Amino acid sequence: MHKNSKPVDRLVRIIEDFPKLTITVLGDLIADEFLYGEISRVSREAPVLILRHRERTVVPGGAGNAIYNLADLGVTVLPVGVVGEDDAGRALLHAFRQKHISISAIRRIKGYRTVTKTRILAGTTHSPRQQVIRVDQEPDAPLDRSAVRDLVLKTRGYARASDALLISDYNYGAATPQIFELVRSRSTLSSIPVTLDSRYRTLAYVGVTAATPNEAELEEALRTRIGNDTERLMAAGKAVMQKMRLNSLLVTRGRDGMVVFTRGAKPNMIPIYGSDEVADVTGAGDTVIATYTAALATGADPDSAARLANYAGGIVVMKRGTATVTRAELLRAVMEG
């Protein structure tokens, strides 16, 4: 038997177990809008390019992208979040229905503005399109008590029937540390993995099982600078593990790969999978936490879960726009890798 057959077989078995899983996702649902145009000419009114509109697409971003990734990995996913009764909100719900994802716990709020990130991409007929500007539309007010209570109750209910809970916090109010505490206070979350991807306040979620910050978020959380200093990276990871009482911590490092910290074990550095000449990093963190969560939910150890997340991240950054990784793509990468 080949010396690498056992690790490969273990990863394959984990992927094959994905369709047996049910995972709840509590998070900020974002509409990622892409406007594509061809460069027509320079405007007479100002020194700017005029684009001839060619195409518009809207896909789930933020927690929605994590949800989409789980679905494409074969997982039954139960999303909990809010959208507005607007075009972006309707587009998100339509996208979920297309993948047969339940929308019964997504609350539609009249007068609420669905978080929308509009990226305008320009190019010529024979050149790749490049992002020239991004316009963000955000809610005008925080969620009211009724909406928060609804999020808590629905998350509690879903978590009881799930193999894991994924929290995707983009700081828009649907997945706050306070909501997590309310969910945890009357739930049996101790029996399932609870994973966290929080853009600005990772350390506020004491009690989750695992977190997946990137290196910049780790630096911001600890108010430190890591740079290329491996000793500082290791010290920072250990500090977060202790502060949050985590079972594991997965830190993504771009072209430097990942490092996974596991309670009671030495940190493990994982080199990048694939080319470091990436096409687009949009949403890569959502793919990583989706894959990592699914693997942990099967009972996989953090090292194996991190290796699968690394494969998934390496695949998705070679795709343009907000993209996902399918179960078949992940299996193929593991077998070939």
pLDDT band of 279, cuts 50, 70, 90? low
Residues identified as active-site: 286
* Residue 322 banded pLDDT, cuts 50, 70, 90: confident
pLDDT over threshold 80, residue 301: yes
Flag whether pLDDT at 126 surpasses 80: no
Q: d(Cα 258, Cα 250) in Å, to the nearest integer?
A: 7
Q: Report the mean per-residue pLDDT for the chain.
A: 92
Nearest to 123 by CA among 320, 282, 278, 319: 320
- Spatial neighbors of 235 by CB under 8 A, at least 6 apart, are none
pLDDT for residue 212: 97
- What pLDDT, on a 0 to 100 scale, did the predictor assign at position 2? 40
Q: How confident is the model at residue 128 (pLDDT cuts 50, 70, 90)?
A: confident
DSSP letters for 126-165: TS--EEEEEEEE--SS---HHHHHHHHHHHHHHHHT-SEE
Tokens of 216: 């910049």
227-240 tens-digit pLDDT: 889 999 999 999 99
User: Is pLDDT above 70 for 150?
Assistant: yes
pLDDT attached to residue 230: 93
Predicted confidence at residue 190, as pLDDT, reads 84
**Predicted model pTM:** 0.92
In the predicted structure, residue 1 carries a pLDDT above the cut 70: no
Domain covering 5-336 assigned CATH 3.40.1190.20 in the classification: yes
| Matching residue, tokens 């009211």 | 144
Domain ranges of the chain: 5-336
* Percent with pLDDT over 70 in the chain: 96
